[in-house]
Amino acid sequence: MPLYSSSVEYGLHCLLYLVDASGEAKASSFDLAEFQGVSPSYVAKLFGQLKTAGLVTAVEGAHGGYRLARPAKDITVLDVVEALEGGNPLFQCREIRSKCALFDDAPPAWATKGVCGIHAVMLEAEQQMKQSLAGHTLADLSHQVTRKAPKGFSAEINVWFAGRRALKSRRPKSP
């Protein structure tokens, strides 16, 4: 079972499409979902969480959609993880050490004194992982993707989303 759900992956990919936006709304959750081949309701749910966390803002209207709420260099991967997965600990200590059959119903103080050694290791690992996630920003990820993708790919993405916006603006307005 993965540590984080696919919402983190989809959320980060969606946010990367908003990184180079000029301040205008770049894409709707529907367009981002279609672009990635996932359910529009799923992406809408993700963006609700991202908006609540203050990572994106919504723009209403025919040319509406989402944009980053702050510069990509100021949004860490940890921000996105916490917005989409919550702040739950990665390890839940069950205090198994106090349930040894030799202790009957009353474990001795030495067995339960202080933090469980296993729990301490897991807490340290969680802190290191959070530090690592906090050390990477959307801007960092965007630069990695840009370096990896063929020249012109970013322009192709922009053309695809611009075509979607143009299509929406040509639709007849309902009374």
Q: Domains (ranges, CATH) in the chain?
A: 6-170 (1.10.10.10)
Q: Quick: pLDDT tens for 75-134.
A: 999 999 999 998 778 888 888 788 878 888 888 888 888 888 888 999 999 999 999 999
User: Averaging pLDDT over each range in 55-59, 61-65, 110-114, 151-155, which range is the top one?
Assistant: 55-59
Alpha helices in 37-152 (DSSP H): 40-52, 77-85, 109-112, 117-134, 138-148
What mean pLDDT is predicted for residues 155-162? 86
pTM value surpassing 0.85? no
Instruction: Quote the CA–CA distance of 70 and 143 in Å, as a whole number.
Output: 17
Q: Which long-range contacts (CB under 8 A, 24 or more apart) does 158-167 make?
A: 158/20, 160/35, 161/17, 161/26, 161/27, 161/31, 161/35, 164/27, 164/28, 164/31, 164/34, 165/63
59-73 burial code (b ≥16 CB/10 A, e <16): eeeeeebbbbbeebe
Q: What is the pLDDT of residue 171?
A: 60
- Other CB atoms within 10 Å distance of the CB of residue 18: 24
Both structure tokens of 117: 């050694």
As a whole number of angstroms, the distance between CA 136 and CA 141 comes to: 7
Q: Which of 91, 63, 74 is nearest to 136 (CA)?
A: 74
Q: What angle do CA 19, 22, 23 make, to 5 degrees?
A: 90
Q: Would you state the pLDDT for residue 2?
A: 58
CA dihedral 130, 131, 135, 138 (to 10 degrees): 10
